[in-house]
Amino acid sequence: MKLDGRAVLLTGASGGIGRATALRLAGRGVRLALMARNEAPLRALAEEITKSGGQAIAIPGDVRLSADATRVVAETTARFGGLDALVNGAGLGHLKAIDESSDAEIQEQVDVNLMGVIWMTRAALPALLARAGSAIVNVGSYAGRVAAPYYSYYAASKFAVAGLTEAWRRELRIRGLRVTLLVPAATETPWLDKAGRTRAIGIGPAGTILRPETVARAVERALRSHPAEIYLPLRNHGLAVFNLAFPALGDRIVTSLFRYSRKR
């Protein structure tokens, strides 16, 4: 996809990976609709992009609500005359043991990380199918391929996103819509501190921390060339395949890299 002049709807745009992605795409001439729950930073980002000569509109909304998804897509298409791509970037996580997580925390992760992707994609689908060469990029997580201790509920939501993306990639390709899954390692965002760095980050290869700008570059690559999946860093792809092929050995390796497993 040639990016200049394309209309892209980006969720989770108010900070972290979303903010970095918005700034990068705006610099490539993309017309952006920015969606997030936190209105103040969202509007500030749209203003920053506009002052720099780009095109961006802020549309506050909650991906957990199908009505908000429908409204945001409608506002986007009304403003830009259509939609070329959807980047599902909204996400959150609570890294807690199986019996530490509250019902509300478990439900929130499912609602934002999984149902948010579903509601946004279903709402955007007619507009995307109306444009030749359109694309969907789902920002997943390495925890959606290899699950570590305390990641269970977060990982479950991200494993589901990986399954959705794989099915949609095969289903929608024949309809002219390309779908890509991003599989980043832990990224330097406020989420790390909220979730707890000692639980989110392991040692050795499990201690990799990406910059948001690295993920933003991958989003740009996904929109331009539509690969099936992008692992960040690339070596994680091999580790994921190994974990799938040899789960018992994978257990030993992962638990040795994450040294905080709780014992009773």
Residue 264 lies in a domain: no
Residue from 151, 154, 231, 260 carrying the catalytic annotation: 154
Lowest mean pLDDT among 62-66, 198-202, 211-215: 198-202
More confident residue, 21 or 190: 21
Look at residue 261 and tell me whether its pLDDT is greater than 80.
Answer: no
Give percent of the chain with pLDDT exceeding 70.
Answer: 98
pLDDT score recorded for residue 203: 85
Classify residue 167: in a domain, yes or no.
yes
Residue 263 lies in a domain: no
Structure tokens belonging to residue 24 = 């990068």
Per residue, the 3-state secondary structure of 67-135, as one string, reads: HHHHHHHHHHHHHHCCCCEEEECCCCCCCCCCCCCCHHHHHHHHHHHHHHHHHHHHHHHHHHHCCCCCE
Is 150 part of the annotated catalytic residue set?
A: no
Query: For the chain, what is the mean pLDDT?
Result: 94
| CA of residue 120 relative to chain centroid, distance | 12
Does position 90 have pLDDT exceeding 60, yes or no?
yes
75 burial type by CB count under 10 A (0-12 exposed, 13-18 middle, 19+ buried): middle
Judge whether 126 and 48 are in contact, CB under 8 Å.
no
User: What is the arithmetic mean of pLDDT over 121-139?
Assistant: 97
The pLDDT of residue 198: 77
Its domain, for residue 26, covers: 7-257
Q: Is residue 208 part of a domain?
A: yes
pTM of this prediction? 0.95
Distances (CA, A) of 178 to 124, 127, 163, 210: 14, 14, 15, 25
Would 262 be classed as within a structural domain? no
Cβ-based neighbours of 96, under 8 Å, separated by 6 or more: 105, 150, 153
What is the CATH classification number for the domain harbouring 72? 3.40.50.720
- The helix or strand, by DSSP H or E, that contains position 22, with its residue range, turns out to be helix 16-27
Identify the pLDDT of residue 264: 41
92: left (phi over 0), alpha (psi -120 to 50) or beta: beta
* pLDDT on residue 150: 92
**Does residue 218 or residue 191 have the better pLDDT?**
218
pLDDT digits (tens, 9 = 90+) for 48-64: 999 999 999 999 999 99
How many domains does the structure of the chain reveal?
Answer: 1
Share of the chain above pLDDT 90, in %: 88
Q: Report DSSP state, residue 205.
A: G
The pLDDT value recorded for residue 126 is: 98
* pLDDT above 90 (res 195): no
Within a domain: 2: no
* Residue scoring higher pLDDT (58 or 257): 58
Q: Could you please report the per-residue DSSP string of 131-160?
A: STT-EEEEE--GGGTS--TT-HHHHHHHHH
Q: Are 100 and 198 in contact (CB under 8 A)?
A: no
Residue 153, domain member (yes or no): yes
How far apart are the C-alpha atoms of 199 and 193, rounded to whole Å?
A: 10
Q: Between 205 and 215, where is the model more confident?
A: 215
Tell me: pLDDT of 70 over 60: yes
Render pLDDT for 147-179 as a digit per residue (tens, 0 to 9).
999 999 999 999 999 999 999 999 999 999 999
Domain-embedded: residue 68? yes
Which region, left, alpha or beta, applies to residue 133 given φ > 0 means left and ψ of -120 to 50 means alpha?
Answer: left
Is 263's pLDDT higher than 50?
no
Between CA 91 and CA 112 the distance in angstroms is 6
What is residue 259's predicted lDDT score, i.e. its pLDDT?
A: 63
User: Would you place residue 205 in the very low, low, confident or very high pLDDT band (cuts 50, 70, 90)?
Assistant: confident
Q: Which two tokens stand for residue 220?
A: 């740009």
